Amino acid sequence: MRHLRTMMPGWARALLIALLLGACAPIISEYSLDAYKNATSLKAETFALVDKSGAKFRDHQKEVEALTTKIDAAYEFAAGLPNNELSAAQWRLMRNPERGLYGGFIRIWKQGPLPAEFREDKKKQLGAAFDEIICLEINKKETQRCTGNAALAPKT
């Protein structure tokens, strides 16, 4: 320590100590059962809505608004947790109308009913995106490999 004092000015030592202490801070938030439940239930609700998108958008507009509000709430919940930027970013992508996930799906559906093949492909894309959100949340609790739906159930 004596050599450190002679080699570094006081401000540099303080900066070094601050950096070392900052390196010990968590880089991701803790596991949240509420976040896990949000993601899994919203995945199921989104799939049910995609199945209805073979009909006119206006016939299901209230359902869309309700689900969009829930997805927005999931984003706000994730964004409000400390050290949770990765999860919040995933929800931002999910909501973005200029992307190919939930927000983009709704934008396209507003143009007219969607064919069955498109709906099935969209469910695969949305399922993979929800699985990423779910996997990230599970890995906050205990590191595990997430492959397929069976792997996404939290260990009890």
Per-residue pLDDT of 40-98, as tens digits, reads 999 999 999 999 999 999 999 999 999 999 999 999 999 999 999 999 999 999 999 99
Kindly state whether residue 109 falls inside one of the protein's structural domains: yes
Kindly state whether residue 68 falls inside one of the protein's structural domains: yes
Cα-based angle 53, 58, 61 (whole degrees, multiple of 5): 80
Kindly state whether residue 12 falls inside one of the protein's structural domains: no
Kindly state whether residue 25 falls inside one of the protein's structural domains: no
pLDDT value at residue 33: 93
- Residue-number span of the structural domain to which 53 is assigned: 33-152
Kindly state whether residue 123 falls inside one of the protein's structural domains: yes
Q: When comparing pLDDT for 140 and 15, which is higher? A: 140
Q: What does the block give as tokens for 22? A: 């900052």
Of 38-52, 92-106, 132-146, least confident by mean pLDDT is 132-146
Domain total in the chain: 1
Kindly state whether residue 4 falls inside one of the protein's structural domains: no
pLDDT value at residue 143: 80
Rounded-to-integer distance, Cα 113 and Cα 115, Å: 7
Cα-based angle 82, 88, 90 (whole degrees, multiple of 5): 145
